[in-house]
Amino acid sequence: MRTQQIGQGHSSPARAAKPDNVLQTAERSGRGGVMWSRTAATLLLLLWVEHVAAQGLSRQEAYRRAAELTALGQAIFVDPSLSASGKLACASCHSPAHAFGPPNDLAVQLGGADMRQAGVRAVPSLKYLNTDPQFTEHFFDSDDEADESIDNGPTGGMTWDGRADRGRDQARLPLLSPYEMANASAADVAARVARSPYAHDLPALFGVGVFSDPERVFGAVTTALEAYEEDPIFYP
Ligand code: HEC
């Protein structure tokens, strides 16, 4: 998924020179309004492309950002201070030493602000999530029958009922669930992140103003968790 977002380098002199060339061509042509508006439209398009390209990342930058996001996601994953109880991290239920599944034989885990609220579902392992297709009501792909016209029914998505398609959407659930990490709101999560040892990593990755908006901090947390869940450690 990340590789699709990787852009090309954006500092080639040929590309940088394009807008000027267009302008010179237009000046030399000296023809009427139609030519000018067409040239202006071309110029605007080129400027827009340059603008978008400027926001993209070179391959090397994209890899570095992915590595930094993954490291941040890992720090968040094992941090119990992001829960209302101060005792429950993602890793408490999805233990890295137990294939990212529960570290005990309880049917459901305890959580909540007082650590006495029972969850209602068994904790799944987080391995091989990348092989999970997005949720669909009708999944036409049969390994067994080699017949793709067979409807295998509802398939894919995250959680037992597939109600989240991406790690970043799923991660909102345990952070806000009263049975799990029990934050009351995004602002609650953001306040805890601001006190964490990795708080200073967020502005470089998500913008200097990130802490001015709790939703942005919450988005940063879930994005980093999603990146971590794509780490090869989940697909040995
Ligand atoms: C109190 C235990 C608990 C904690 C803490 C917890 N989870 Fe979970 N997790 C669960 C349970 C239970 C499910 C299944 C939920 C469902 O089906 O609705 C689940 C499901 C998931 C899934 C979907 C897996 C799949 O195969 O579909 C992911 C991804 C996940 N959790 C990541 C996280 C992350 C990231 C955190 C920390 C922000 C976290 N969990 C914290 C118990 C927990």
CATH of domain 62-234: 1.10.760.10
Domain residue spans in the chain? Answer: 2-55, 62-234
Whole-angstrom distance, CA of residue 112 vs CA of residue 83: 8
Model pLDDT, residue 41: 61
Does residue 188 carry a pLDDT above 90? yes
Whole-angstrom distance, CA of residue 44 vs CA of residue 50: 10
Model pLDDT, residue 140: 84
Whole-angstrom distance, CA of residue 38 vs CA of residue 43: 9
Whether pTM exceeds 0.75: yes
DSSP 110: E
Whole-angstrom distance, CA of residue 225 vs CA of residue 159: 15
Mutate to test the pocket of ligand 1, among 82, 175, 180, 183 (most ligand atoms within 8 A of CB): 180
Whole-angstrom distance, CA of residue 24 vs CA of residue 136: 53
Q: Does 224 sit in the ligand 1 pocket, CB within 6 Å? A: no
Q: Does 222 sit in the ligand 1 pocket, CB within 6 Å? A: no
Whole-angstrom distance, CA of residue 135 vs CA of residue 194: 34
Q: What is the pLDDT of residues 76-106, one digit of tens each?
A: 999 999 999 999 999 999 999 999 999 999 9
What stretch of H or E contains 117? Answer: strand 117-118
Model pLDDT, residue 38: 63
Whole-angstrom distance, CA of residue 176 vs CA of residue 169: 12
Expressed in angstroms and rounded, the spacing between residue 225 Cα and the centre of ligand 1 is 12
**Between 2 and 218, the higher pLDDT residue:** 218
Contacts of 81 (CB under 8 A, 6+ apart): 192, 195, 196
Residue nearest to atom 15 of ligand 1 (CA): 159
Q: Tokens for 22?
A: 């267009």
Least confident of 20-24, 32-36, 111-115, 223-227: 20-24
Residue nearest to atom 21 of ligand 1 (CA): 159
Which string of DSSP letters, residue by residue, matches 1-62? -HHHH-------HHHHHHHHHHHHHHHHH---HHHHHHHHHHHHHHHHHHHHHHHS--HHHH
Residue nearest to atom 43 of ligand 1 (CA): 93
Q: Map tokens 């709101």 to a residue.
A: 185
Q: What is the pLDDT of residues 41-82, one digit of tens each?
A: 666 556 555 544 556 889 999 999 999 999 999 999 999 999
Mutate to test the pocket of ligand 1, among 87, 93, 228 (most ligand atoms within 8 A of CB): 93
